[in-house]
Structure 1
Amino acid sequence: MSWFKAINTNKYIKTGPAITPDLVYWKKLSVPTLVKEFGAIDYIDFSPVEPHYFAVTCSVRVQIYNPITKLVAKNLSRFQSNAYGGCFRKDGRLLVAGDEEGFVKLFDVSSRNVLRFFRGHKAAVHRTFFTEDLLKVASFSDDKTVRLWDIATEKTINSFEGHSDYIRAGSVNPTSPNIILSGGYDNAIKMYDTRTDSAVFSVDHGSPVESLLFLPTGGIFLSAGGTEVKVWDVLAGGKLLARLSQHHKTVTTLKLASNGRRILSGGLDRHVKVYDVATYQQVHNMDFPNSILSLGVAPEDQTLVVGMVDGLVSIQNMEQSDKEVKVEKKRALISSMHVDQVVPESTHGTEAKYNHHLRKFEYSKALDCVMRAYVTHKSPHITVSVLQELIHRKGLHRALAGRNHTSLGTIIRFILKHIGEHRFMRVLTDAAAVLLEVYEDEFDQFTGDIGKLFINLAKALRSEVDLTYDLLELQGALELIIGAASISENRDESIQFTKDTTNIRQSEKAKASSVVSLM
């Protein structure tokens, strides 16, 4: 009978997060591999060149990891004190990092040698970046200055002052080598133009600035500090475009992902939030074991690395399912062949046993199928869906009649276990009423455990009825309170309106009398 419609069992599935494309996409990340480092993870940066090694700055070293093996490939340890902000150049050949003593060091990644040693800062340098032209290095220091260094000569090209507290955040414009952004613990964000040797504008974030990030176009930047991420328009002179307030503790790091279409923010609340660049709305959330200080994302989202305050580094690779791999292989095979038309494979779903029995009006067998232990424990929504279908068909009486004590005990235990769940309460209450109605003439024959189960079932139904009455009374009381509050609010508004009108009239009378006296 091809017209038979199978039962919709999904309507009673426990509600969870909405299945969105971002949820599906980020769930492809593998189980985290946790690596323990010697100190808090200050900064993480990926090499733009394959195989996209990533640098982890912590303690007195910069460790360069292989994202495939998740092992340390190289170790840059030419530091006498804590290292900060290890960052790759676009070609992946050089790496620059600051340290606690105020020095900025430039490394050759392949040989691990120090190529340049920039001296000039008087306090710790927490962030360092290469400019867009790859010829200069920008450094941001606790001495409240920002410096631009020439790689060829090791000399300072520009030095910018203006902050009144430590500078712990910075960024360089991805489209212009002359624009530099700095953020300090004085809540200020300043944009500098190296051609004019001065600040272009300054905005107030409202909290100590922990991280700054330019979007790929260079016309918009984001700042993180306190519990907020703010979006600013560069071309409009630092106009505030949006506030992202999804974290409940300090936001410490910002990164771009998905080729610039997604923004990632990490914070001390142990969460990484994912935002859509187009709407600035949160589209996904990830949890981690401890407070997050830094994160990095490889090109094409191949690897996500998160650094935490206790020295843990979480490494996750983006995985493809076997089905996706087969589809890609099939597409590659088809693209290499010359065919006129590709006929898609047709798949036929197997019919569930309870649907088979329902189609044949075998109600008792259908109920037996969904009362098995592996169904009631793992998928109780299927059992409830079949019970509802039997009630609609007026076949539950027939399905429950003539059962032995073992079968009745299984049904009653299932009802007692799940009748308190709001998803199932209405259906199971009706099913319990039908069960009591079917066996009301045989209650005196039930002894032992089955008799106790029937008594417990009657008590459960009575308690659910009492709870319903209590909730209805509470609902009525809340409606009275809300109604009284709205009436009081309207009365206050009318009184205020009357006072304002009276004041206006009195002021007009005073003006008129003053005019008359002058005449």
Structure 2
Amino acid sequence: MAHISYPFKKTSKAAFRKPESVVSQDAIYWKKLGQPVLVKEFGAIDYLDFSPVEPHYFAATSSVRVQIYDPITKVVAKNISKFVQAAYGGCFKNDGRLLVAGSEEAVVKLFDVQSKNVLRVFTGHTGPVHRTFFTKDQVKVASFSDDKSVCLWDIATEEKITSFADHTDYIRAGATSPISPDLILSGSYDNTVKLYDCRTNEPSLTVNHGSPVESILFLPSGGIFISAGGTEIKVWDIFNGGKLLGSISQHHKTVTTLCLASNNSRLMSASLDRHVKIYDISTFKVVHNINYPNAVLSMAISEKDDTLAVGMIDGVISIKKREKPAKRKGVKKGVNKFAPDYIESHHFSAEQSVKRKNKHENDLDKYLRKMEYTKALGAILNGSVITKFPEKTAAGLQQLLRWKVLNIAISGLNNKQLNFLLKYLRRNLGETRFTRTIIDTANVFIDVYEGQMTNLSETNLMLYRGLLQGINSEIDVCKEVSELEGAICMLLAAGQLSDNRDILDVHNTLVPSSKALKDIIIDVSN
């Protein structure tokens, strides 16, 4: 049979490279935090806070005490246990020498970290105080209580400066402004966030989060704040009258805490769904995700992201410390890895390795150059190649298809080689990398052996029937996935989710085209 001769071109070796997962710089950066060290406390971890000064100890508020941990040794350095009932919200002053905490006793206590002595006790609340913070000038303390009030205390005189009682439910979240000592944010279970100016007697701003507010924080500019409650995180603009700038919904259970990281360029959120998510503050898109074994209640990260502490509902604190860069191995001491002789010797060994790996491909090209197509196909149809290097077999089949000589190559195969070909087609039928090549090869096989199936051996006939069953199964999968895609689209439309979410393109990425697979069935039926 005459055929057209084409100019020879080596078979492409990279056509079927395995898809590589895209690893972002954020993923690399956050994975360097290393393996966690777990520390068990006596109760759920209510609040975590890092000291702003070295060595950046962190305070863990749990049960009736505040434990201060050394992030390097992961052991307790200080134990502040002067509480009769549960302690809440232990927070450091910016010099790391003082710590303030609320309690179930409806009082706010100020401690000297070094001596662990109580320096001040602020009384006046009538309900448990869950959050306490120092103001910008560090001479006042703001407290947020279940008695639905926010109070401002003077540290020097131990007196209440002012109080606000505009919420209608428990206040479990608060924040002080990074630019003004007079601005305070409070978040309540009445779904609202209120901004107070301590120079006035009423809220300066009120926004409705839509769910009980669990955590709030200011961005460093002081003009934008973020609230978390329910499964949503919302961004608000103070200067535009509390305008909603954006809404993030990446968790599927209640978001419990927020914090800033990476020099305030990243936002971190933790949730009862056991995930900590990290967002780019400029786009609010997720750049990394960290999983934990239990629901997360509290979280804090040290300066320069050296240590991440996460407190869980079962009383376990997970402490991740950033790993130091490891010394390079594999180069002998005294050997200059940049020396020409070192590079040349290693380059030579790499070349030899490549030659050994490409042996079968060289056989393929050798037979293609001589236009011995059956031998070329046989070279990529032995057991070791189709099992260990299926991409090489696919590349060879694609080359023969491109030259339109695959029918010639298949017609000359013996029973053993046909056995390998059918096994390869069946095994890789659902492999998305090879789908188009597998379908085209199967069509050519059917064209060659149409009406001659009785000439196949019993084993090959069984493999052929198995291939047809596999094709039918793939078509059924395509139908089911299409139905699932339609159902998901309806749910998304009903939920009125934002248009910027990518709906899974099932047809193009997960499974072979059902139309392409049906082509084979049509050929078989004919």
* TM-score interval, smaller chain: 0.7 to 0.9
Q: Which residue of 1 aligns with 2:465?
A: 458
> Match for 1:425: what amino acid?
T
Residues 1:426 and 2:436 are matched in the alignment = yes
Q: Which residue of 2 aligns with 1:330?
A: none
Residues 1:67 and 2:71 are matched in the alignment = yes
> Match for 1:455: what amino acid?
M
Match of 1:224 among 222, 228, 232: 228
What stretches of structure 1 move > 6 A for 4+ residues in a row? 323-326, 393-404, 407-411, 433-447, 472-476
Q: Which residue of 2 aligns with 1:358?
A: 361
Which 10-residue stretch deviates more, 114-123 or 417-426? 417-426
Contact (CA 8 Å) 1:367, 1:386: kept in 2 or not? Answer: no
Which 10-residue stretch deviates more, 429-438 or 57-66? 429-438
| 1:468/1:353 CA distance change after superposition, 3 Å | farther
Residues 1:215 and 2:219 are matched in the alignment = yes
> Match for 2:428: what amino acid?
H
1:268-312, CA deviations, whole angstroms, 9 ceiling, x for partnerless residues?
222222222112233333322222211111112112222222222
Contact (CA 8 Å) 2:153, 2:160: kept in 1 or not? Answer: yes
> Match for 1:23: what amino acid?
A
Residue correspondence of structure 1 range 148-297 to structure 2 within 5 A = 148-297=152-301
Residue correspondence of structure 1 range 364-379 to structure 2 within 5 A = 371=385, 375=388
| 1:466/1:121 CA distance change after superposition, 3 Å | closer
Tell me, what secondary structure is at the counterpart of 1:210? Answer: strand
Q: Which residue of 1 aligns with 2:14?
A: 8
Tell me, what secondary structure is at the counterpart of 1:162? Answer: coil
CA distance in 2, matches of 1:119, 1:134: 19
| 1:135/1:419 CA distance change after superposition, 3 Å | same
Contact (CA 8 Å) 2:16, 2:394: kept in 1 or not? Answer: no
Which 10-residue stretch deviates more, 88-97 or 196-205? 196-205
Using structure 1 for the length normalisation, give the TM-score: 0.75
1:212-271, CA deviations, whole angstroms, 9 ceiling, x for partnerless residues?
110011111001111211111112232221111222221111110111111111112222
Tell me, what secondary structure is at the counterpart of 1:300? Answer: helix
Q: Which residue of 2 aligns with 1:40?
A: 44
| 1:95/1:420 CA distance change after superposition, 3 Å | same
- Alpha-carbon shift at residue 173 of structure 1 (Å): 0.6
- Alpha-carbon shift at residue 423 of structure 1 (Å): 3.6
> Match for 1:416: what amino acid?
R
CA distance in 2, matches of 1:288, 1:24: 18
| 1:36/1:431 CA distance change after superposition, 3 Å | farther
> Match for 2:129: what amino acid?
V
RMSD after superposition: 3.9
Tell me, what secondary structure is at the counterpart of 1:275? Answer: strand
1:50-104, CA deviations, whole angstroms, 9 ceiling, x for partnerless residues?
2222221111122222222222222222211111111111111221111111121
CA distance in 2, matches of 1:154, 1:127: 18
- Alpha-carbon shift at residue 24 of structure 1 (Å): 3.0
Residues 1:302 and 2:316 are matched in the alignment = no
Contact (CA 8 Å) 1:222, 1:231: kept in 2 or not? Answer: yes
Q: Which residue of 1 aligns with 2:58?
A: 54
CA distance in 2, matches of 1:205, 1:224: 8
Tell me, what secondary structure is at the counterpart of 1:48? Answer: coil
CA distance in 2, matches of 1:294, 1:201: 27
Tell me, what secondary structure is at the counterpart of 1:371? Answer: helix
| 1:137/1:466 CA distance change after superposition, 3 Å | closer
Which 10-residue stretch deviates more, 392-401 or 78-87? 392-401
- Alpha-carbon shift at residue 465 of structure 1 (Å): 5.7
CA distance in 2, matches of 1:233, 1:46: 27
Residues 1:91 and 2:95 are matched in the alignment = yes
| 1:404/1:475 CA distance change after superposition, 3 Å | closer
Match of 2:140 among 120, 136, 143: 136
Contact (CA 8 Å) 1:228, 1:245: kept in 2 or not? Answer: yes
- Alpha-carbon shift at residue 120 of structure 1 (Å): 1.7
Contact (CA 8 Å) 2:381, 2:420: kept in 1 or not? Answer: no
Q: Which residue of 1 aligns with 2:83?
A: 79
CA distance in 1, matches of 2:136, 2:227: 20
1:392-449, CA deviations, whole angstroms, 9 ceiling, x for partnerless residues?
46787769977895x87666555433323344333334455677899999998987xx
CA distance in 2, matches of 1:112, 1:404: 85
Tell me, which stretches of 5 or more residues in structure 2 are unaligned? 1-8, 331-342, 367-375, 490-526
Contact (CA 8 Å) 2:183, 2:195: kept in 1 or not? Answer: yes
Which 10-residue stretch deviates more, 295-304 or 206-215? 295-304
Residues 1:121 and 2:125 are matched in the alignment = yes
| 1:44/1:242 CA distance change after superposition, 3 Å | same
CA distance in 1, matches of 2:102, 2:392: 60
> Match for 2:308: what amino acid?
L
| 1:163/1:318 CA distance change after superposition, 3 Å | same
Contact (CA 8 Å) 1:371, 1:410: kept in 2 or not? Answer: no
Residues 1:417 and 2:427 are matched in the alignment = yes
Tell me, what secondary structure is at the counterpart of 2:124? Answer: coil
CA distance in 2, matches of 1:45, 1:34: 17
> Match for 1:13: what amino acid?
P
CA distance in 2, matches of 1:285, 1:354: 37
- Alpha-carbon shift at residue 7 of structure 1 (Å): 1.8
Aligned length: 449
1:90-124, CA deviations, whole angstroms, 9 ceiling, x for partnerless residues?
11122111111112122222222222222221111
Tell me, which stretches of 5 or more residues in structure 1 are unaligned? 327-344, 483-519
